[in-house]
C-alpha cells in the first residue's frame, strides 16, 4: 500500500499557535477575559492582571525542525533570546539566520530557560522527554508551551508542578491521553488549554487538500507521488 502525507502544510499555523499560547499565558489573557465575561470588571487598575513581557526572555525550543524554526523566527521578532536542543545540531548558517544557541545537554538548557516550547514529534525516544525529574529542573518562573504531542510531557507531573507553583504556567494544545486530559488541569488558573487546534486554519486545510489531490493525480498518471512516505522517513 503506497502512503503519502502533506508535509509543510501545518508549519506556519502551528508556529502561530505557539506564539499565541505564549502570549496568552504570560499576559494572563484568559483570566482577563473571564473577568469581562463575568461582568465583574471595575475599570483599569495599575496592578490588575499583571503579566510578563516577552522581550528579553530566554526561549528554549525542543525540536528545531520546520515548526521549531518557524517558532524561532517569530520569537526573534518579539525580542526573545532563542535557544534549542535537537537530535542534530543545525548547520552554522541556519543557526546564524535564526540567531539560535545550541545546547547539547537538554537538562542544562531547560534549567536556564524562561519559556520552553515543545516542537518535537512523539517517538519512543521522546516519550516523557519532560519527565518528573526534568520538570523539577525548571525555574519556578518558567512557562511550558506544547503544540506538538502530549506524550512528550509527563502530564501528571506537569499538573503537580503547576498546582504547587514549581512551574509558573503552561499553554497546552495537546494532551498525553488525547481528549482524556488530567481533570485538574482545567481548574488551574495558570494554564491555557486549547483543543488541538494548532493547524486549524482555512488556509492550512486547503493546502492539505491540494497536496492530497496532487499526490493522487500523480499516482494515477503512473508516476511517483511527490510526498510518498518511505521506510527511511519513519
| Count of other CB atoms within 10 angstroms of residue 151 | 19
Domain boundaries, the chain: 12-28+53-193, 202-233
CA distance 54 to 29: 14
Q: Which residues pair with 22 in a beta bridge?
A: none
Q: Is the pTM of this model over 0.85?
A: yes
Q: Are 94 and 70 in contact (CB under 8 A)?
A: no
What DSSP letter does each residue of 173-228 carry, written as one string? Answer: S--TTTT---HHHHH-TTEEE--S-TT--HHHHHHHHHHHHHHHHHHHTTS--TTB
As a whole number of Å, the CA-based R_g of the chain is 19
Helix (H, G, I), strand (E, B) or coil at 60: strand
Q: Is 29 helix (H, G, I), strand (E, B) or coil?
A: helix
Give the C-alpha separation, 213 to 52, whole Å. Answer: 45
pLDDT values of the chain reduced to their tens digit, one per residue, 234 residues: 899 999 999 999 999 999 999 999 999 999 999 999 999 999 999 999 999 999 999 999 999 999 999 999 999 999 999 999 999 999 999 999 999 999 999 999 999 999 999 999 999 999 999 999 999 999 999 999 999 999 999 999 999 999 999 999 999 999 999 999 999 999 999 999 999 999 999 999 999 999 999 999 999 999 999 999 987 655
Q: Distances from the Cα of 54 to the Cαs of 26, 46, 162, in angstroms? A: 8, 19, 20
3-state secondary structure (DSSP) of residue 10: coil
CA distance 175 to 122: 12
Contacts of 40 (CB under 8 A, 6+ apart): none
CB 199 within 8 Å of CB 9: yes
- Report domain 12-28+53-193's class: alpha beta
Amino acid at each position: 500500500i503506497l502512503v503519502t502525507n502533506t508535509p509543510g502544510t501545518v508549519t506556519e499555523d502551528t508556529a502561530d499557535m505557539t506564539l499565541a499560547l505564549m502570549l496568552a499565558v504570560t499576559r494572563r489573557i484568559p483570566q482577563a477575559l473571564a473577568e469581562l465575561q463575568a461582568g465583574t470588571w471595575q475599570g483599569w487598575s495599575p496592578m490588575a492582571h499583571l503579566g510578563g513581557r516577552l522581550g528579553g526572555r530566554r526561549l528554549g525550543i525542543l525540536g528545531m525542525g520546520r515548526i521549531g524554526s518557524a517558532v524561532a523566527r517569530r520569537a526573534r521578532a518579539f525580542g526573545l533570546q532563542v535557544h534549542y536542543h535537537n537530535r542534530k545540531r543545525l548547520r552554522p548558517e541556519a543557526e546564524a539566520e535564526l540567531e539560535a544557541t545550541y545546547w547539547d545537554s537538554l537538562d542544562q538548557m531547560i534549567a536556564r530557560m524562561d519559556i520552553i516550547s515543545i516542537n518535537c514529534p512523539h517517538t519512543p525516544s521522546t516519550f516523557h522527554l519532560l519527565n518528573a525529574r526534568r520538570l523539577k529542573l525548571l525555574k519556578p518562573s518558567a512557562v511550558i508551551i506544547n503544540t506538538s504531542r502530549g506524550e512528550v510531557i509527563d502530564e501528571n507531573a506537569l499538573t503537580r508542578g503547576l498546582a504547587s507553583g514549581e512551574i509558573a504556567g503552561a499553554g497546552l494544545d495537546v494532551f498525553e491521553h488525547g481528549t482524556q486530559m488530567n481533570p485538574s488541569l482545567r481548574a488551574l488558573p495558570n494554564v491555557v488549554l486549547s483543543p488541538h487546534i494548532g493547524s486549524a486554519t482555512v488556509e492550512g486545510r486547503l493546502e492539505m487538500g491540494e497536496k492530497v489531490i496532487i499526490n493522487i493525480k500523480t499516482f494515477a498518471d503512473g508516476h511517483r507521488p511527490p510526498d510518498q512516505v518511505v521506510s527511511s522517513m519513519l
